[in-house]
Each structure stands twice: as C-alpha cells, then as structure tokens.
Amino acid sequence: MLPINFTPGPSQLYFTLTDHVRNAFKEGIPSLSHRSKQFEAIFKETTSGLRNLLGLPADYHIFFTGSATEIWERVIQNLVEQHSTHLVNGSFSARFFETAAQLNKKPFKSEANEGTGFPENIIVPQETELLAITHNETSTGVSVPLEHIYTWRKKYPDTLIAVDAVSSLPYPEIDYSKVDTVFFSVQKGFGLPAGLGVWMVNEKCLAKSERLSKKGMSLGTYHSLPSFLSHSAKSQTPETPNVLGIYLLGKVIGNMLERGIQNIRRETNYKATLLYQLLDSHPILKPFVKDHSARSKTVIVADCGTHVENIARVLKEKGMQPGDGYGSFKKTQLRFANFPTHSKEQYELLVDTLQAYNS
C-alpha cells in the first residue's frame, strides 16, 4: 500500500483517478490527434466543467500550458510592459518576482516575513500595470485573504490583478469579477499527475496583450494570449498539448461537481480546523503561521523543532507521508496538504497520531 501523501505537490492523486486512467488508455486518449473532433469534445468538457466548478464568468477564457512556472512567464510577457508589483513572502512569490526581472521588466516588490501575511493597506507604486499575488504561499502556508484582494482592486482599479492560486484551488470561492487572471497547475489541489497548467484570463488581459503586440513587443512565440485565443475559439491549442492531462482533469472535475464544491469547501474547513486546533494545543508541535487570518486552509505548516525526523518516522509507520519543510525550513518544519482528495478519516488519523506524539 502506498502511504497517504500529504506533500503539497505533487500530492496524493484524486481517489477516482486510477479508473479514469484505465478508461483513457482503453479509449486511445494518449495518442489522440489534437486536431480531431474527439479532442475538441474533451477540450469543451474540461473547460465547461471548470467554469461550473469555479463559477467562472462568461468573459473569462481558459488556456492550457505546461506548468504554472510557465504561466508566471506568460503573465509577465503578455500583460506587463515595464512594471509589475509582487507581494513576496516566500519562495514561490519570490520566483514570480524574479521571472519579471529575468524578462527585463522593472518589477517592484512589497515584502512580508516568511510565515506572515500582508497588511490591508499596502502601497502599490503608481506605475504598476499588474499586481502579482500568490494567494497561497506554498512554502510557508500563508494565505492572502480574498477580502484584501478586493480592497486593493477598489483602491487600484486600473491595475491588472494576477492571482497564483496553484496550491489553493479549487477551495477558494473567488469573485472573478474583482481580479483579472487566475492560474493553477494540476498536481496540487486537483490531484493529477504533473505537467499541465491552467490559465484563466478576462477580456482586459486580452486587450492588454493586443496593445503590447501593436507596440511591437514580443508576447512569446506560441503561448501568447492572441494565439491561445484563436485556437481556443476552435476548442484547440496552439501546440500538441498534454491531451491525457486535459482529459483526466475533465474527469476529476466531473467527480468534484458530483460531490459538490460547497461540500468540498466545508470538508476542507473541517480538516483544517482539526489540524490547527491540534497544533495550537500541542506540547511540542506549533503552527508556523500565528495570525489566524493569514493561515492557509490547504497547506498547513507545523514547526517541529528538533522532532522533525522522529515525527516523520512515526507518521510513516502509520502509513502517512508528510511534506518536508521548504528550503531553509527543511530541518524544523513539516507541511501538510489539505486537498479535496484527503478524506476526513485520513485527517482524523493524522491528527490522532500527532496528538499521541509527546516525546
């Protein structure tokens, strides 16, 4: 038996995935032409399922990439002439900022310490074309409250807002009319094998990319927004895509729709409360994120001090694989993904086992 995988990414596969993979091979999906009618039907099933699941408005488009790392680059290339501003409080948000610098833009950053969130009254420089927000900083388990994002939207109405929701979706109920682009990759909350990114953009983003293109700026050669748009109008992609991944994503989304997104959200809240309550009261383990409003519901980080290896061993003996601490926190922290595939029973086993650990 494989252990229950609590690593944030790649994480535990969605529990229905094996059946879908088997069917995919029976149906010949892995070698299906991406210019066939059958592919177009898969494209439509996956994108319309995602629209339903997330409540995505009609003026949003959905495009497929190779990863979220690719989308960082595409966001900067397609939506920023010179200045993006990045909220940086950990490794992933820092990479987004560095991507802009590497692409020869002039990005600003507003920093917070690892393990803490950003104040609601951040100052965004006036020249900012795009505000880059990592909704859930996966390295430290800090989440930006959606209400903060909506406040910034009101205060800076002419700035595009980009939300990296890689390790939080499908959990957060985002008001997509108050942001402009949101993206994720599938090996975290959706429980799929890695190798597929999903980029959702509104009309304002498309218009911005057209403006940059008219100015003679390069938007990239194949995954530019205009190229994505002309292909998605035919339910197609510019390149030979990860057809199997797009198919599997559609099937898992179908299962999530049957289960009900509000049920998924309720269960996520329940499991997060269990683990945070345990951490708040434990003699040895402590929650890394102290401020309750900054605590991620989907990636929960525990300070374990010198007990890291012992705790990991005890969990493994019970069939559970915790996620390592990220970067410099590897020796003192463990991370626990709380994704839709992690059942209440698995979380109860996790919490009971941690509860019993006291030496």
Ligand X SMILES: *Cc1c(COP(=O)(O)O)cnc(C)c1O
Q: Applying CB under 6 A, which residues contact ligand X? A: 9, 67-69, 92, 134, 138, 164, 166-167, 185, 197
- Per-position b or e across 65-87, b if 16+ CB within 10 A of its CB: bbbbebbbbbbbbbbbeebbbbb
Alpha helices in 88-159 (DSSP H): 91-102, 146-155
Tokens of 242: 């990860």
Which lies closer to ligand X via its Cβ, residue 25 or residue 222? Answer: 222
Minimum CB–partner distance for residue 102 and ligand X (Å) = 15
Cβ–Cβ contacts within 10 Å for residue 322, how many?
25
State in angstroms the smallest separation of the CB of 66 from ligand X.
8
CB closer to ligand X, 167 vs 227: 167
* Least distance CB 35 / ligand X (angstroms): 26
Query: In the complex, what is the shortest distance from the CB of residue 93 to ligand X, in angstroms, rounded to a whole number?
Result: 7
Smaller CB separation from ligand X, 49 or 141: 141
Q: Which is it for strands 299-303 and 286-287: parallel, antiparallel or unpaired?
A: antiparallel
Measured from the CB atom, the residue of 91 and 343 that comes closer to ligand X is 91
Confirm if 257 and 22 have CB atoms less than 8 A apart: no
Min CB(111)–ligand X separation in Å: 16
| Least distance in angstroms from the C-beta of 52 to ligand X | 23
CB closer to ligand X out of 187 and 278: 187
- Nearer Cβ to ligand X (125/327): 327
Single out the residue of 153, 144, 90 nearest to residue 117, CA to CA: 144
CB of 92 or CB of 247, closer to ligand X: 92
Of 167 and 341, CB closest to ligand X: 167
Which of 9/115 has CB closer to ligand X? Answer: 9
**Minimum distance from residue 137 beta carbon to ligand X (Å):** 7
Q: Report the nearest approach of ligand X to the CB of residue 184 (Å).
A: 8
Q: How far is CA 188 from CA 28, 136, 339, in A?
A: 26, 12, 7
Q: Give the pair of three-digit tokens for residue 266.
A: 């309720």
- Counting every residue written for the chain, the total comes to 359
**φ and ψ of 130, to 5 deg:** -145, 130
Q: CA-based Rg of the chain, rounded to a whole angstrom?
A: 20
- What the block records as the tokens of 151 is 């406040």
User: What's the min distance (Å) between Cβ of 143 and ligand X?
Assistant: 11
Residue 303, strand partner residues: 286, 333
Residue with tokens 């927004």: 225
Read off the DSSP letter of residue 327: G
Alpha-carbon span 95 to 87, nearest angstrom? 11
3-class secondary-structure state, position 295: strand
The DSSP code for 237 is -
> Which residues are CB-neighbours of 91 under 8 A, at least 6 positions away?
137, 138, 139, 326, 327
